[in-house]
Chain A
Amino acid sequence: MAKKIYVDVILQHSKEGQIRPLAIVWANGVKYTIDKITQITRAASTIAGGTGIRYTCYIQGQARYLFLEEDRWFIESKGQGA
């Protein structure tokens, strides 16, 4: 079953006040760089159960949703666990 996994995220705060996630840090310490962000929108995650601002990120060539819910970041896991 899909799970909601909170992750550490490395952020860049621009001088205009925008934030942009640069990388996700997995629980085992491995850092995954976000190569590209193609969409930023408000959206609910019905899979993981939550809502917030959804970033469509490309990590190692794969699209992945990263959600900012209030002040925490989460991803939708497809069951393989963190």
Chain B
Amino acid sequence: MDRVILHCDLNSFYASVECLHHPEYRNVPMAVGGDVEKRHGIILAKNQLAKKAGVTTGEALWQALQKCPDLILVKPNFSHYLRFSRMVRAIYADYSDKIESFGIDEVWIDVTESIHLFGTPRALADAIRERVKLELGVTISVGVSFNKVFAKLGSDYKKPDATTEITRENMKEIVWPLPIEDLLYVGRATTQKLHLLGIYTIGDCATTEVAVLKRRLGKWGEVLWRFANGEENSVVSVQHYEPLVKSIGNSTTCPRDLRSLQDVKIVTYILAESVAARLKEAHLMASVISIGVRDIHLKGFTRQIKLSQATHLSDDIAHAAMGLFDKNVDFTTPLRSIGVKASDLSVIELPIQLDLFTDQVAHQRALNLENTIDVIRERYGFNSVQRLMMKEDPLLSQFNPKQDHVIFPESYFKG
């Protein structure tokens, strides 16, 4: 029997929450975005009126203001959004225990085993939609399908506040005419490759020989082909309780563009120190360090490296991150924001396999030093002890990363 999977997406989530709390924003174009003066300025979400005026998510505040001079800009209030995200999840949990989050505002729910209690899949989706609207005052769009990828396409198909059902019968009419870039995990680079093959819609991809796709895209070709044909069968992971931390990361939009490795180094060390402090606070060590980069055109990528030994030292983290920057960034386009993330976490208490070539005494000394610095910072403030390199560019180094840590969306493919 086919599974019944819902994908629920909170419509213009941040903007909807703000509009609920501020009735005065409802009839004017408004958007949630960062801080103009510090250049932390991109649009994170916008309401319907702003959308009509052409404001798009991800563009700089000044661009949005050019298109729509009356736009009301609101600073994001993340604790609010997290509270709403939790409350929405509580509603979902009334219908199934198989709920998998994808970012703060999207989830998949596998209701295969509980659907008999609630009638048809569409009736259930509509019931959830009504409850969210009535109880929380925000709207969701729901996609109903037999796999996760099509469910997600369904929730994107019609919004806000709508249900779209994609079945084996209607998938060729609904899914196949959609542009290929709507498919999960088809980004800019893949889209270009597919266009070269003459593949512009999901249907084109589905009807192409698998071998052709494999030759051009490797094993991804086959994955996409299966996605397009509705043969995706990954499970919605069961979450009985809140998952433990999977990664700790910090990123920042810099007060000025980063044009050289030296610029990157200053920011990286600050981020690494924050990540290290938070790892230590949580009694964790990380084996994988990754960097995220976004250039002035808001294009970005991530790279990661596996360490030979798990660490929570800022020097190790910064060193690994700098290695990645050195290898992967050429600065033809200046960078606007960068991030450092530690993952593949293990608890400190776990015994460590020592090796002959690492100087354990030096390692212990470095650890003692960092612990001491953390204590000093806790008592006298983050800037009470600084690396000398921070003095080279006071503008770049004047932020406290512990205050603005990010929520990374969870990876779709586990493990």
**CB within 8 Å of B: which residues of A?**
1-2, 41-51, 70
Contact = CB atoms under 8 A, between A and B. Distances in A.
Contact of A46 (B20, B24, B83, B87): B20
Contact of A1 (B23, B136, B138): B23
Contact of A44 (B22, B24, B83, B135): B135
Interface in B135-183: 135-138
B21 interface: yes
B135 A51 contact: yes
Contact of B135 (A1, A2, A43): A43
B20 A50 contact: yes
Interface string B337-366: 000000000000000000000000000000
Interface residues of B, number: 14
Contact of A43 (B24, B84, B134): B134
Nearest to A42: B135
Q: Which of B24, B83, B135 has the most CB of A within 10 A?
A: B135
A67 to B, nearest CB: 11
A79 to B, nearest CB: 12
23 contacts: A1-B24, A2-B23, A42-B136, A43-B134, A43-B135, A44-B20, A44-B134, A44-B135, A44-B136, A44-B137, A44-B138, A46-B137, A47-B23, A48-B23, A49-B21, A49-B22, A50-B20, A50-B21, A51-B20, A51-B135, A51-B136, A51-B137, A70-B83
Interface in B108-157: 133-138
Interface string B69-113: 000000000000001100100000000000000000000000000
Contacts of A50: 20-21, 137
A45 B20 CA distance: 8
Contacts of B138: 44
The 7 closest A-B pairs by CB, nearest first: A44-B137, A42-B135, A49-B21, A49-B23, A51-B136, A51-B137, A44-B136
A45 B137 CA distance: 7
Nearest to A50: B21
Contacts of B136: 42, 44, 51
Q: Which of A2, A45, A49 has the most CB of B within 10 A?
A: A49
A32 to B, nearest CB: 25
Given A43-B134, A44-B20, A70-B83, 9 more contacts: A1-B24, A44-B133, A44-B136, A44-B137, A46-B23, A49-B22, A50-B21, A51-B135, A51-B137
Contacts of A41: 135
Interface in B257-306: none
Contacts of A2: 23
A82 to B, nearest CB: 17
Nearest to B91: A42
B143 to A, nearest CB: 23
Contacts of A46: 20, 23, 137
A1 B22 CA distance: 12
Contacts of B21: 49-50
Nearest to A54: B135
A2 B21 CA distance: 12
A46 B27 CA distance: 13
A46 to B, nearest CB: 5
Contacts of B134: 43-44
Contacts of A45: 137
B174 to A, nearest CB: 31
A44 B135 CA distance: 5
Contacts of B87: 51
A47 B23 CA distance: 7
A72 to B, nearest CB: 13
Contacts of A43: 134-135
A19 to B, nearest CB: 19
Contacts of B22: 49
